[in-house]
Structures are given as structure tokens and as C-alpha cells.
Amino acid sequence: MKVAICSQGDSLDSNVDSRFGRCPYFVLVETDTGVVEAAANPSAMVGHGAGIGTVQFLVSKGVEVVCTGNVGPNAYEALRSSGIKVYSVDSGTVRQVLEAFTAGKLKPISNPNVRSHQGMFGHTADK
């Protein structure tokens, strides 16, 4: 299974990023083989549609699960429609999140948990 973890950096030791569409990186892990790939998020700095663009990018990478802090309504619907499961993370390193996921300790997100445009510059984390 290919898991994408929203990250502030490009390694397993990077801190997770709570933003989905605007996180700088995804650390992609193939849980069956242990292969790790870091990928810059091509939608992190776009003006509009970051969440949808990010979902399209993850679909192209074959991602089946995303671990993130926040996901807005448009991105959530695109993830759901694409068959990508979403799990909630608060903090820690990518490695810690991966360990929690494989141990079954992360909670699935079953609805958007922030409003649209949450990760854009100047928007706060109000839910």
C-alpha cells in the first residue's frame, strides 16, 4: 500500500505538515516493500485549487492513503472520489506518523475538518 504523509521536509525525520494542499512535500512510503520517496508538492504555491491539484498529483503517484492534519471540503471530496483514504495526524515526524499508521493508531477522517482555502496565506486554523 502506498501512503503519502504531508511533510515540511523530504525525509522520514522531517516534521509533518498539517496542511494538505499546501504542504511543501509528501513523503511516499510503499508499506509492502519499505521503499521511500520524497516528492515536492507541485500545488503548494498555486493561487487556487491547491487541494484538487494535490489530489491529482497523488493519484498519479498511485497513493492509496494520505496522513494529514487538515483537509478542506473540495480536497476531501476529490480524495474520497479517488478512493484515497485520509487519516488524521497532529504532530511528530514522518517516521513517527508512519509507525502509528502501520500500528493502526491513526484515526480516519470521515469529513472535511477545515473550511475551504484554509492553508492559504493569512488564513487561520479555525475549524
C-alpha to C-alpha distance for 99 and 55, rounded to whole angstroms: 23
C-alpha to C-alpha distance for 47 and 103, rounded to whole angstroms: 37
Position 124 in a domain = no
Which pLDDT belongs to residue 11?
A: 97
Quote the number of domains for the chain.
Answer: 1
Position 6 in a domain = yes
Q: pTM of the entire structure?
A: 0.88
Position 49 in a domain = no
Range of the domain at 71: 1-42+63-119
* C-alpha cell read off for 34: 519499505
Residues of the chain with pLDDT under 50: 119-127
How many alpha carbons fall within 13 Å on the CB side of residue 109? 26
Position 54 in a domain = no
- Measure Cα distances from 90 to 70, 81, 82 in Å: 9, 24, 24
Position 47 in a domain = no
Which pLDDT belongs to residue 117?
A: 54
* Residue 19 near residue 6, CB atoms below 8 Å: yes
Position 57 in a domain = no
Position 81 in a domain = yes
The CATH number covering residue 115 comes to 3.30.420.130
Position 52 in a domain = no
CA proximity to 121, closest of 40, 58, 45, 37: 45
